[in-house]
Amino acid sequence: MLAPSARPVEMPSPDRATPHFLLKSGHNMATMADLELRHLRLICAIADEPSLTRAAARLGMSQPALSAALQRIERRVGGPLFERSHTGMRVTDFGAYLVGAGVVLADMDNLLAGAASRVRQVGGEVRIGTGPGTIGPALARTVGDQLPGEVTLQVGILGRLTEDLENERLDFAVLDECAGFPLPVSDRIDVRQIVAEPVFVALPEGHPLGDHSTVRLAELAEEDWVVQPIRDGNDQVVLAKACAEAGFRPRIRHEVNEPATSRELINGGAVALATPTSRNGEGIVVRPLDGDPIMLERWLAWRPAGPNARYAPKVYRCAAEAYLQQIDRNPDYRRWWDLHPEAHRHLAATVAG
């Protein structure tokens, strides 16, 4: 989920005086030398986003963890990089100087991707990407048991996973697609469907609908919704389309891309779409939507020209095995699964074969 900053920042010209903040002391110069690429990535991500919360989601961190990391960097370099206010984060002159250095990150990313590709060509690493959830760790374990070399897992949003797959930073990715919203991949990518699953709804424990075997979407017309930010996926559009067909417009109150925060908001009374393998508990109940108004397809994607493309059949089988391990996490999904063998008959055949 890391990316170089796209913010246009003027770099200091050679004849310009050294910035005053670099002249404060010899200690500052020493600590500036201690900066690492990961620090620049963090600084650039905050500069590109209007808030720490959004920057944290982009980096795959919690907001408190990002805030603490920024404070450590500012202590290391000896000055404030951002000014905090009720409107968000504004980069200081000092911070702008470092953000400008972020232009080196793109070249470094390309260098590392090329090096990683050459390592993988000799069987050193298989890189897999998935969205948030339990399928990623299960898939990484299964692949690690069946393929040579080291297996690494990257968890991110759909757009970043497809970008990293296209740019050879991933070998395989599990991508999610809702009906009417095709996967954003080029003809350089091969895909094979793993499964089509219904989307459930997460309710706060004690909700009047929590005891129902299924929930009609129209019954949620007066609820506050937690959704993924529109820039990170099409969840909002998918929800709006389904709700329009049910006769109402969803009241989207919270935009969150961090599971722990979403759970807290649901505990507080909001509702959200949920994968059917989501567990009940911790103040949340997950129930099927009546009539399955939203269906999600999961696909395995890979580059047929990639160094590990020869493993695609094995990785697909591993994905099938990993998914089947998740079915019993939610009893309602197990019931749905047993009632709809047509949705997954090929998975059992894949694992058996």
HEC secondary structure over 196-259: EEECEEEEECCCCCCCCCCECHHHHCCCEEEECCHHHCCHHHHHHHHHHHCCCCCEEEEECCCH
* Nearest residue to 233 (alpha-carbon basis) of 131, 127, 128, 129: 131
pLDDT of 284 reads 95
Averaged pLDDT, 227-246: 89
The residues, ordered by sequence, that sit 6+ positions from 274 with a Cβ below 8 Å of its Cβ are 199, 200, 201, 202, 286
pLDDT-based confidence at residue 156 (cuts at 50, 70, 90): confident
pLDDT of 122 reads 46
Whose structure tokens read 């797959």?
165
* Nearest residue to 298 (alpha-carbon basis) of 347, 261, 350: 347
Averaged pLDDT, 266-294: 95
> Above 80 in pLDDT, residue 243?
yes
From residue 335, how far is each of 154, 330, 340 by CA, in Å?
A: 31, 9, 9
Q: Are 272 and 202 in contact (CB under 8 A)?
A: yes
* Nearest residue to 344 (alpha-carbon basis) of 221, 236, 223, 195: 195
Averaged pLDDT, 21-26: 37
The share of the chain scoring above pLDDT 90, in percent, equals 44
181 versus 218: the higher-pLDDT residue is 218
pLDDT of 29 reads 41
**Residue 226: strand pairing partners:** 254
> Above 60 in pLDDT, residue 168?
yes
Averaged pLDDT, 307-333: 93
**Residue 83: strand pairing partners:** 90
Chain length of the chain: 353
- 72-86, 221-235, 318-332, range with the lowest pLDDT: 72-86
> Above 50 in pLDDT, residue 250?
yes
pLDDT of 337 reads 94
pLDDT of 41 reads 80
From residue 144, how far is each of 126, 206, 318, 324 by CA, in Å?
A: 9, 41, 9, 17
Averaged pLDDT, 120-139: 80
**Residue 254: strand pairing partners:** 226
> Above 90 in pLDDT, residue 59?
no
Mean pLDDT, all residues of the chain: 82
pLDDT of 7 reads 36
- 105-119, 173-187, 318-332, range with the lowest pLDDT: 105-119
Domains detected in the chain: 20-101 (1.10.10.10), 106-197+296-352 (3.40.190.10), 200-293 (3.40.190.10)
pLDDT of 124 reads 65
> Where does residue 74 rank: exposed (0-12), middle (13-18), buried (19+ CB within 10 A)?
middle
Alpha-carbon gap, residue 219 to 37, rounded angstroms: 49
* 90-121 residue pLDDT tens: 888 888 877 776 656 666 666 565 555 554 45
Give the β-pairing of 172-178 and 295-302.
antiparallel
Alpha-carbon gap, residue 242 to 249, rounded angstroms: 9
Averaged pLDDT, 206-212: 94
Q: Are 172 and 128 in contact (CB under 8 A)?
A: yes
**Residue 299: strand pairing partners:** 175, 193
13 versus 83: the higher-pLDDT residue is 83
Residue spans of alpha helices (H) in the chain: 26-33, 37-48, 52-59, 63-77, 93-100, 103-121, 135-146, 158-166, 235-245, 259-267, 312-324, 331-339, 345-352
pLDDT of 320 reads 93
